[in-house]
A and B are shown apart, each in its own frame.
Chain A
Amino acid sequence: MSSESPFPKPPGSEGSPSKRASSLRPLAPPPGGSPGPLNPSPALFTTPPSPQPDAQPSPFSSDPAFVPRGGEQETLRREDPRSISPSSPEGNNEEEEKGPSLAEKAGRLFKGTMEGIGNHVWNNRFTVSVRVHVADAWLDMRERNLEGAQIRSQKAKEKEDLYAEQAQLIREQSAGLSGTGLNVNDYVGDIASSIDKKMKFKEERKIANLDTAKKHRELLKEKEKRNAVAEKMGAFYTSGAEKIDTAISDFEVRSGKKRFDYELVHAKDKVDELQRRLGDLESKTTDFAKKHGGVEVKGLVRMKKDLERQVERATKLRDELQARTSRIEDRTITMKNKREEILLKKEQLNRADGRQRFNVTERTGRGGDRSERRRTSTESFGSDNETKYGLGDFVAAWNQGYSSAGILHINEDDFYSSTYGKYTSVSPKKFAFLFDSYLHGLKGVRKDTDDPEYLSEVGWRDLHRNAEIGVKKFIEQKRIGRR
């Protein structure tokens, strides 16, 4: 009997039975199968991360002198001769056939990442947010690689289905020939060997899939870690800003800065007045001297000199008061700016984090515009889920409370933030904070009154109570919508 297969030989299948077996083609295309290569494109690993929506051109992207942290990988890419001779006639070794090396890919990705986050690198102070970005980029790349692995896994499954189909076909064909007297054993043996091989591949693939799943879990863990770091740092920024805010408020309350401000203005006014009176007096003495025959009048010379000295002293005192007050003001602003800087860092971190912590969806939709977000970010004192009050509301409530005591009214200009402008919208908690700080800051401001009762602590408490009642009443009215 002939050992030749009874089946027609496919083109190129001449040779050993094993060669024929390996060249067996599918009878039908796999369902949903793609004829494309199973290997993912190298571009999958070299695509730079998507640019940030509001990214500015990186100042470093075109700066040849800039070598980012880890930039040695980029240097490696430039210097590696493999990267410039993959298609050279001599370059027929295995490394060259595989295309760019891993280090090259990592270098390219790192460069792309650094350029993509260039707008955040502009200020080295924001290193945490930059690192959050970089961590994100690496985690994203891992995710893409895992997606590649999943695609391969899917294709492998399609292959397995195909093998099963082929095996079934061979079995049917063998069964059909069993009565013909033809010897199909060799051919069937080859097929069986091929199927064994494929089944082994299937087992290996299963293990690989398990590894992929494990890596997915690890990736999730790493993302959680990174998020936890960003979250923790964000909370720390918030608490730091709050602490600074409290320290500044304490300072203003403890030292009675508001009262001092008032008294200093009063003192400067007083000095001005004295200076004016001294000037008048000087004119008087001059007139007197002229009238009475000049400086020969006894005591007039001394008086004139004394007057001149006092005028000079009053001028100097006023300038000194002005200078010292300005310096104190500058120092206070510097402290307030530090708080704003911390809030800015937090904002930067939030962007790097990719999560909107700004609860402005009710009013402005997703994210809100930049100015809205900035304004809301200053309101870290209050609960973001509650109704916001306008500054006008606050002023109205204050005045309502105080008008019952018939004394002090305020205006919006007292609440001025150098960075954000006026607080145009505040949460109830911030509302209460403003109220308290303003109230305490003003404590004693009515010192110019003649009423001793007013100046007493008890009297002040009464005023406080009146204002507080007014504010509470206002909030209540606002809540039930009667206002």
Chain B
Amino acid sequence: MNTQNPQTDLPQDDIKAEIDALDAEIKSIVEELDQVEKSSSDMLDKLESDLTETEKEVADIEADIEAEEAVANQELENIIEDSIKDVVDLEAELETDADLDSE
């Protein structure tokens, strides 16, 4: 004889079966969640690791460019210095020429 639930008058076994079904569904969802969590986490880990590596490459390229900029700046600086010196010399020479012209 089935035990009756005092509040619902439903057989206890039917209630248990329904609860078990709900429980099974929860477990299935939890498993899926575990799977999604693991796969997405692995993916993101790899992506982040690759990204870090690429960032290092980009930083190296930037450092190379900066070093090259420093060299280029120094070369341009030298050209500017030479030019300033030449302008000063040339101007002094032109002043001498002007003296010569006035004779």
Contacts and interface: CB of A to CB of B under 8 A. Distances in A.
Interface of A: 38-40, 45, 98, 102, 105-106, 127-128, 131-132, 134-135, 138-139, 141-142, 145-146, 148-149, 152, 155-156, 197, 201, 204-205, 208, 211, 215, 218-219, 222, 225-226, 229, 232-233, 236-237, 240, 243-244, 247-248, 250-251, 254-255, 257, 260, 263-264, 267, 270-271, 274, 277-278, 281, 284-285, 288, 291-293, 296-300, 303, 306-307, 310, 313-314, 317, 321, 324-325, 328, 331-332, 335, 338, 342
B73 A128 contact: yes
Interface string B57-94: 11001101100110011011101101110111011111
A289 to B, nearest CB: 10
Contacts of B84: 106, 138
B69 to A, nearest CB: 5
Interface of B: 5-8, 10, 15-16, 18-19, 22-23, 25-26, 29-30, 32-33, 36-37, 39-40, 43-44, 46-48, 50-51, 53-55, 57-58, 61-62, 64-65, 68-69, 72-73, 75-77, 79-80, 82-84, 86-88, 90-95, 97-98, 100-103
Contacts of A127: 69, 73
> Per DSSP, are chain B's interface residues mostly helix, strand or loop, or mixed?
helix
Contacts of B58: 244, 247-248, 335, 338
Contacts of A142: 83, 86-87, 90
Contacts of B79: 135, 138-139, 222, 225-226, 229
> Per DSSP, are chain A's interface residues mostly helix, strand or loop, or mixed?
helix
Given A131-B73, A251-B50, A310-B26, A39 B103 contact: no
B40 A321 contact: yes
Contacts of B86: 142, 215, 218-219, 222
B87 A145 contact: yes
Contacts of B5: 292-293
